[in-house]
Amino acid sequence: MPDATFATPDVTTFCRLDELGLVVVGQHLQPDRAVLACRVADDAVEEADRWCRRCGCEGRPRDTVTRRLAHEPLGWRPTTLLLTIRRYRCTGCGHVWRQDTSRAAGPRAKLTRTALRWALVGLVRQHLSVARLAEALAVSWTTANSAVLAEGRRVLLDDPARFDNVQVIGVDEHVVRHEALLFRMEVRDLRRFAVAAAG
């Protein structure tokens, strides 16, 4: 590749954490899993994070807390982010709040936004089972299923334009597991070969 342009190796970019406003500050690799220590990137720290949402006074850094998030697997190795989040205390009213990490994950979510996208693509396009997704993300089946259903509803079902430009729809019913005779129905856009709905 004579015309290739290489950049300096960067774990943050390689793991696509820059898209989430995070920076990798450490790693712990094992044969069966990877843990990446992260913090919120300096350029992603909003000025609003420093001001109290109750009284408007400036906050001072108080301490830090950690949050574990499942991230998309790297080479099918479950990858966990150990995110260090700064907490602030208001100098006026004493209210305590955390840095905004909404770019990385939703409130109380256990999967990053990248992991949600990876899982949804795995389920819809690669036909992976929820059990396989949960294993790859190192989360429980219930956590993976709830997260994928909510993301699928948000991205696929709640999109009013999902049937725009669709001219032909195919309905396919097939056996998912022969032993239990579980059936799955898919509505497909036959021009783009994409699943429009499944049940």
136 shares a domain with 65: yes
pLDDT in tens, 138-188: 999 999 999 998 988 888 778 788 778 877 766 655 555 555 555 555 666
Residue 71 has which token pair? 């991230």
153 shares a domain with 169: no
How far, in Å, CA of 56 to CA of 74, rounded? 42
Specify the number of domains making up the chain: 2
How far, in Å, CA of 1 to CA of 18, rounded? 27
Look up the domain containing 186 and give its range. Answer: 163-199
How far, in Å, CA of 163 to CA of 169, rounded? 10
Assess if residue 3 is contained within a domain.
no
125: nearest Cα among 171, 76, 192: 192
pLDDT in tens, 26-55: 999 988 999 999 999 887 566 778 888 888
The Cβ of residue 157 has, within 10 Å, a number of other Cβ atoms equal to 11
pTM: 0.74
